[in-house]
Structure 1
Amino acid sequence: MDANTWKRAARPLPRRRFLQVAGLTVGAASAASLLAACGGGESKQTAGQAAPGTAQPGAKKLGGDLKILMWSHFVPAYDQWFDKFAKDWGAANGVNVRVDHIPHLQLPARHAAEIASQAGHDLVQFALAVGGGAHFYAKHLEDLDDIVAKVGEEKGGWTDFAKRTSFVGGHWKTFPDFFIRFPILYREDLWAEIGMPKGPDTWEDILVGGRKLKAMGFPGGFGINNHADSNATLHAILWSYGAKTVQEDGKTVAINSKETREALRLVKAIFEEAMTPETLAWDDSSNNTLLASGKGSWIHNPISASLSIKNDKNLELYNKIGIANTPKGPADRRTYVPVNTFGIWKFANNKDAARAFLRHYAANWMEGYKASVSYNEPMLKGWIDEGFKWVATLDDPKIKTLTDFSPYAAMNGYPGPATPAAEEVFQTYIIPQMAAKIVKGGNIDDVVRDTETAIKKIYDKYA
């Protein structure tokens, strides 16, 4: 990809606009209510016609319709690449391919509706930050061992994190497509002014440096409210301080600990001394807005927030924004990361075409990675090596220095598995609600005990 192509591709859809497109907000809805809901909204479709010779036919005779359900990507250039890629494959294989893109917040309801009716798409994408995936829908998904294990053997093996996302009951139930890094985006000029030119490396740095920057009129922030980014950051702080909602066995609730209390005291201090009070009412777009305003000194967020500033042609501000690792704490450097996977329904009408296309997609995964401008983080060791060699050739100094983020990535339920119970705890925003009570002055022992009770109630349902 040359420099001009890179500049065109690096045009992510700003989160504030993305949420407007979605036409939805997600509150403290339970996983059960999400499963009962029915998806809606317009979707865009791509028909399977293309010039001949653009894709290689598979060995098995295919035909019919292949229906694919996906999110609307934060980097629109990726969707443009995928739609053409799918269309070309369909034309070469005699398959009429239709790709439906919907806002990510609508995916869980659409999945639930298709399961209820036992009809819909053949190949479906899961955005785990909003619900679903291998652990939640294992009984409704085809085994993909023949595809995922083979790709792993050819490309150096899947990471342990990939296995946590997609390997259930001894089988690969989904294809581990990509995750999204969750770093600190910070103002290099402002942090240099307070004597920290490399930005924050620890959560304590966020407190100490953020305190000074707020006094200068440049607060930072993360949401303490019912939304996905808040879940990610607050889980990151808990894990980095050695706290956890559940033990490694995935059954024993463990939120009531001294480590949880230590993490919550830090959250309260950061809120009071380094953040803007509006964070209690933030949604996923709010930290992006703060950074783009020029008045924010740091946020904990995917790089789409800074790329949106570049897309808005504010290069003066973009060039001042650095990318630091997710902060470490006394126990670990760990954060929740959004993960996207693909699965094939057991009730799919065209399983052969879905499998054949997924194999073709896996064989060409790096092209999609380039179309996303490295937003799609790989979980296969060979792709990691190849991907970051490519990243180093880019003309954007903010991106070309990125390295593998997978050692710091975690899913809901960490250090245990991502069980349905862990999913429900995550999707009902129990941890953001706990933090909100603390920063509003709640008694820490009472709040932690109440949170423990709420989590145990969920886990007891699945016992």
Structure 2
Amino acid sequence: MRRIRAAAAGAVTVSMLTAVTACGGGSSTDGGSNDSPKTLTYWASNQGASVEIDKKVLQPELDKFEKDTGIKVELEVVPWSDLLNRILTATTSGQGPDVLNIGNTWSASLQATGALLPWDTKNFDKIGGKDRFVDSALGSTGAQGQDPAAVPLYSMSYALYYNKKMFADAGIAKPPTTWDEFVADGKKLSKGGKWGTAFEGSNPAENIHHAVVFAKQNGGDFFTADGKADFTNDGAVEGVKQFVDLMATDKIVAPGNAEYAQNQSVSDFATGKTGMLLWQSASANLESQGMSADDFGIAPVPVKSGTPGAGENVNSMVMGINMSVFKNSDNLDGATEFVKFMTSDAEQKILNTAYSSIPPVKTAQTDAAFNTPATAVLKDTLAKSAVAAPQVADESQFETAVGTAIKNLFADAAAGKPVTTESVKAQLEKAQTQMPTK
């Protein structure tokens, strides 16, 4: 999802997800010919520390595309807090951009609207073929058994970022590999107005990313094998409680984090207020906020056993950004050409280097920029110990409902109210009642 990040979303109704019109379209072409489009509209997600940074990264590449093809791309970088609602409004009105970025966790939900161009074999062949992309990225492009609703653009995984000086000052010799070690190190760091780590308690999507991993590590999941919501199984409840307890019981997260929104936890780490950060492909973001690459280390996210691997030791969701095309665009040929350009080896190297992400294109991954010790952690996680977000049509409602339940639990913890197994289960029960009935 930020940065392959996923995003906060407003309430989504069933009608918004199903009542998609086939009328309307994207931007118009000069002369109205679909064979020779001259303008495309593009909604890019906010990947860097600010919208302005994204514009500086993307505009030179869009200018390059215009020079090569004669097609002008009108760019809008949309903040994560607005992106999903903007997309959903566009799917119901039929008035969206030609091309857009989506958090990969939303792929199946947006696919269910019917508004996005299916990437069948014919369409994939126009951009060089489906086999150019790595399997982990393709696994988050839509529901199984259906043509993907999107094409992978940036791949990301969560990692543990740690402040080397703060670790040394606290007598911590190496990054933690288990949650017990993480908590113990966090307590050593939580002194003198500084804290072990930070979370964005009011950011429902960010909450979900952590909750899925904690639930998996406790043997739970939020959906059954046939895609039905199951928010109150023991593993899911225990996973959410373990996550919120980092503030409520372990006290290595500042109570004020209950109100934190997008990027605030990254800023706290970059400015030395916290010693550890769990984030998606954060290096470029941190360096843009003044940290040197030598100031922080990167390690896998902790697990219960200390050995990342398959099954309960998953330690990240498969994060990333996908590109989609509105199928009622007047510029389908130009839109497809733009996707081909953005997923070319050359552009994949430029863009993923800029965002510290991993190219989902196999041949681009061989570049030296993606074979450093830092990127090795991300690549290894994606290949061995990450799990895709639930590829169900109701995933966006899940993010909102469960992410908000966790937001409420963080608010309780910040207010000094006990967070118990019963209170966690009650919040998750309430969240499940908000899911559409089948």
Q: Flag whether TM exceeds 0.5 (same fold).
A: yes
Tell me if the contact between 1:243 and 1:263 (Cα under 8 Å) persists in the aligned partners: no
- 1:349: Cα distance to partner? 0.8
Tell me if the contact between 2:158 and 2:378 (Cα under 8 Å) persists in the aligned partners: no
Tell me if the contact between 1:161 and 1:410 (Cα under 8 Å) persists in the aligned partners: no
Are residue 423 (structure 1) and residue 396 (structure 2) matched? Answer: yes
Pairwise mapping of residues 181-220 of structure 1 onto structure 2 (< 5 A)? 181-193=157-169, 196-215=172-191, 218-220=194-196
Code of the residue aligned with 2:61 in structure 1: it is F
Aligned mates of 2:361, 2:143 — CA distance in 1 = 14
Are residue 375 (structure 1) and residue 349 (structure 2) matched? Answer: no
Paired residue secondary structure (1:121): coil
What whole-Å deviation, never above 9, does each CA across 1:300-347 have from its counterpart, x for those lacking one?
A: 12343x5455335454xx533211112212431322354311111121
Code of the residue aligned with 1:321 in structure 2: it is F
Q: 1:288 to 1:204 in 2, by over 3 A?
A: same
Partner of 1:29: 10
- 1:175: Cα distance to partner? 0.8
Aligned mates of 1:96, 1:229 — CA distance in 2 = 34
Pairwise mapping of residues 14-413 of structure 1 onto structure 2 (< 5 A)? 29-32=10-13, 62-74=36-48, 79-80=55-56, 82-128=58-104, 132-138=106-112, 139-145=114-120, 146-148=122-124, 151=128, 154-155=131-132, 157-167=133-143, 169-193=145-169, 196-215=172-191, 218-223=194-199, 225-227=201-203, 228-257=205-234, 260-261=237-238, 264-265=241-242, 267-268=244-245, 271-273=248-250, 274-304=252-282, 307-313=284-290, 315=292, 319-330=294-305, 331-336=312-317, 338-364=319-345, 366-369=347-350, 372-373=353-354, 375-384=356-365, 386-387=366-367, 389-392=368-371, 403-407=379-383, 408-413=385-390
Partner of 2:427: 451
Q: 1:195 to 1:446 in 2, by over 3 A?
A: same
Q: 1:365 to 1:341 in 2, by over 3 A?
A: farther
Code of the residue aligned with 1:287 in structure 2: it is S
- 1:250: Cα distance to partner? 1.8
Tell me if the contact between 1:187 and 1:322 (Cα under 8 Å) persists in the aligned partners: yes
What whole-Å deviation, never above 9, does each CA across 1:241-278 have from its counterpart, x for those lacking one?
A: 22322223321515331563366246425643322222
Q: Percent identity?
A: 15
Code of the residue aligned with 2:151 in structure 1: it is F
Per chain length, whose mean CA-contact separation is higher, i.e. which structure has more relative contact order (CA < 8 Å, sep 6+)?
Answer: 2
Code of the residue aligned with 1:354 in structure 2: it is A
- 1:298: Cα distance to partner? 1.0
Partner of 2:24: none
Code of the residue aligned with 1:322 in structure 2: it is G
Code of the residue aligned with 1:191 in structure 2: it is F
Tell me if the contact between 1:176 and 1:379 (Cα under 8 Å) persists in the aligned partners: yes
Code of the residue aligned with 2:369 in structure 1: it is W
Q: 1:455 to 1:247 in 2, by over 3 A?
A: farther
User: Unmatched 5+ residue regions in structure 2?
Assistant: 18-28, 306-311
Paired residue secondary structure (1:165): coil
- 1:201: Cα distance to partner? 1.5
Aligned mates of 2:163, 2:371 — CA distance in 1 = 22
Q: 1:277 to 1:381 in 2, by over 3 A?
A: same
Could you state the TM-score of these two structures normalised by the residue count of structure 2?
0.77
Tell me if the contact between 1:151 and 1:362 (Cα under 8 Å) persists in the aligned partners: no
Q: 1:447 to 1:226 in 2, by over 3 A?
A: same
Partner of 1:432: 406
Aligned mates of 1:224, 1:271 — CA distance in 2 = 14
Aligned mates of 1:64, 1:269 — CA distance in 2 = 52
- 1:368: Cα distance to partner? 4.7
Tell me if the contact between 1:242 and 1:332 (Cα under 8 Å) persists in the aligned partners: no
- 1:32: Cα distance to partner? 3.0
Paired residue secondary structure (2:43): strand
Code of the residue aligned with 1:278 in structure 2: it is G
Paired residue secondary structure (1:432): helix
Aligned mates of 1:298, 1:268 — CA distance in 2 = 16
Q: 1:154 to 1:200 in 2, by over 3 A?
A: same
Aligned mates of 1:89, 1:382 — CA distance in 2 = 21
Aligned mates of 1:425, 1:326 — CA distance in 2 = 23
Aligned mates of 1:34, 1:186 — CA distance in 2 = 44
Root-mean-square deviation (CA), in Å? 3.8
Q: 1:390 to 1:372 in 2, by over 3 A?
A: closer
Tell me if the contact between 1:192 and 1:199 (Cα under 8 Å) persists in the aligned partners: no
Paired residue secondary structure (2:190): helix
Aligned length: 404
Q: 1:134 to 1:443 in 2, by over 3 A?
A: closer
User: Unmatched 5+ residue regions in structure 1?
Assistant: 1-12, 15-24, 37-47, 49-59
Paired residue secondary structure (1:183): strand
Could you state the TM-score of these two structures normalised by the residue count of structure 1?
0.74
Tell me if the contact between 2:317 and 2:386 (Cα under 8 Å) persists in the aligned partners: yes
Q: 1:246 to 1:447 in 2, by over 3 A?
A: farther
- 1:351: Cα distance to partner? 0.9
